[in-house]
Amino acid sequence: MRASFEHIRELAESCETVPGDFAELGVWQGTTFLPLADTACQFGKGALSVGDSRLFRDLMRHHENVRIWEGWIPEILQEIPDDVRFAFVHLDLDQFDPTEAALAWLWPRISPGGVLCCHDWFDERTHLAAGAIRQWMDHTGVQPEGTLPSEHIWFRRGLSA
């Protein structure tokens, strides 16, 4: 199932008061990110970290608070400043290696109360993105807050983090 902003709207809106930026890693034609950028704009100026093509850049041209990092995960993560923190992240990278790298990099940067929402979750799968998510949960002990029928699994960072 292709991810849609409607699948994650409530989770994104639940981060209204959480300090940090909104981001999407893994953007396909901006169909999820464009409404996410509009939602984030309601909560104040911040950097929205993503990567994609000219079509996506054109869609984002009117959003002054959007910053785009385009490239291959995990290489592109090295270009993002260490002090960036996230209130909400939608992770949709499909493949094992980029998902694995992104989870390890993102989780310490999720603000307390923030949400990391991952697409392509299939409970029985041990490869592709779901395999990386499962391995990350096993390695870190981080447990999901829930799943969505849209093949999303999500995690909320504890307030004591």
What are the pLDDT digits (tens) for 10-44? Answer: 888 899 899 999 888 775 544 455 555 555 444 33
The CATH architecture of the domain made up of 5-156 is 3-Layer(aba) Sandwich (3.40)
Residues 23/52, Cβ–Cβ less than 8 Å: no
Per the structure block, which two tokens stand in for 24?
Answer: 């999407």
Amino acid at the residue 65? N
Per the structure block, which two tokens stand in for 62?
Answer: 């009117």
Tell me, what's the pLDDT at 50? 40
pLDDT tens-digit readout, 89-147: 999 888 898 899 999 999 999 999 999 999 989 998 888 999 999 999 999 999 999 99
pTM: 0.77
Delimit the domains of the chain by residue range. Answer: 5-156
Tell me, what's the pLDDT at 27? 54
Sequential DSSP letters for 27-96: -STTTTHHHHHHHHHTT-----EE---HHHHHHTTT-TT-EE--S-TTGGGGGS-TT--EEEEEE---SH
